[in-house]
Amino acid sequence: MIERFDIRRSDNDRRKISLEDMASIRDVAPSDKYEGSIEQVARALRGVSSNAEADILVLLGRAVFA
């Protein structure tokens, strides 16, 4: 089982957890969300990351071992 981090555990939990998916970062329509390549994702990541080289290595590792 995987524990969801983006769902509140109780009614008293007021934390807001915002996240963006790669479709919104790449500015593509929801209908095209699953189109594209790992290269396009890496290019988009390079544009928004504070440590692009490390983040791209993580991306590639996850793609290879997924």
* 29 burial type by CB count under 10 A (0-12 exposed, 13-18 middle, 19+ buried): exposed
Residue 58 has pLDDT above 80, yes or no: yes
pLDDT at 37: 92
Residue 44 has pLDDT above 90, yes or no: yes
Q: How confident is the model at residue 1 (pLDDT cuts 50, 70, 90)?
A: confident
Residue 60 has pLDDT above 90, yes or no: yes
The backbone torsions φ and ψ at residue 58, rounded to the nearest 5 degrees and listed phi first, read -65, -45
- Domain count along the chain: 1
HSE-up (13 A, CA, CB side) for residue 3: 3
Domain that holds residue 50: 36-66
Domain-located, residue 60: yes
Domain-located, residue 23: no
* Cβ(23)–Cβ(33) below 8 Å: yes
Residue 49 has pLDDT above 90, yes or no: yes
Across the chain, mean pLDDT equals 87
Q: What is the pTM of this model?
A: 0.65
Residues in the chain: 66
